[in-house]
């Protein structure tokens, strides 16, 4: 839960720091935060994919932002490969002229990867997949994170390894 709170804080920080969605001709610039790295990408016009609240991006931007590539066996990254359901291929891939567009938000739903978006600022954040999240439960070791104290000095949880730490969190939801 703490990891999710830290991620929520990161989303807020990135949304404030990210530029508002920029119109570039018929396309929009968006910021994708994947594996805690921010990448600016261009999303398609509505002619390419129809009206959608999903995140569509070119296959080259997919690889640049996430290191995933589309292969005949599915969407792959290193040794990890997720097959796309053949009956729903149009939900993931669209073509417009020489561009091939990929629906990253639909893919995240398929692999049960949490994500959040801020349409006003054009920011999309993709969290850790369930398998990665559950790895922390198996090890009983809290993931490292860094937050400022009341004076603005940054502190990481790893600084306190081996010591007793009381974490107090609060959320409005």
DSSP assigned state of 113: -
Model pTM score: 0.65
- The confidence band for 75, taking pLDDT boundaries of 50, 70 and 90, is very high
Identify the pLDDT of residue 116: 93
CA distances from 43 to 29, 119, 161 (A): 6, 12, 42
At 95-112, the pLDDT tens digits run: 888 889 999 999 999 999
Closest by alpha carbon to 124, among 60, 47, 49, 61?
61
Q: Cα(149)–Cα(75) distance, rounded to whole angstroms?
A: 41
CA distances from 145 to 11, 111, 155 (A): 14, 25, 8
Q: Which residue has the tokens 């954040």?
A: 125
At 4-62, the pLDDT tens digits run: 444 444 444 444 444 444 444 435 788 999 988 899 998 776 556 666 789 999 999 99
């Amino acid at each position: 839960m703490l990891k999710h709170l830290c991620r929520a804080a990161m989303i807020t920080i990135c949304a404030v720091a990210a530029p508002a969605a920029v119109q570039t001709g018929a396309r929009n610039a968006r910021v994708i935060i994947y594996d805690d790295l921010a990448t600016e990408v261009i999303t398609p016009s509505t002619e390419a994919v129809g009206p959608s609240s999903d995140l569509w991006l070119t296959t080259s931007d997919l690889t640049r932002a996430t290191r995933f590539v589309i292969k005949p066996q599915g969407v792959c990254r290193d040794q990890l490969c997720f097959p796309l359901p053949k009956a729903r291929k149009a939900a993931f891939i669209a073509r417009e002229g020489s561009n091939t567009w990929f629906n990253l938000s639909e893919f995240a739903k398929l692999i049960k990867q949490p994500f959040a978006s801020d349409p006003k600022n054009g920011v999309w954040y993709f969290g850790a997949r369930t398998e990665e999240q559950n790895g922390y439960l198996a090890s009983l070791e809290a993931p490292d994170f860094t937050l400022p104290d009341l004076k603005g000095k940054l502190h990481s949880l790893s600084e306190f390894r081996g010591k007793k730490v009381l974490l107090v969190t609060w959320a409005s939801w």
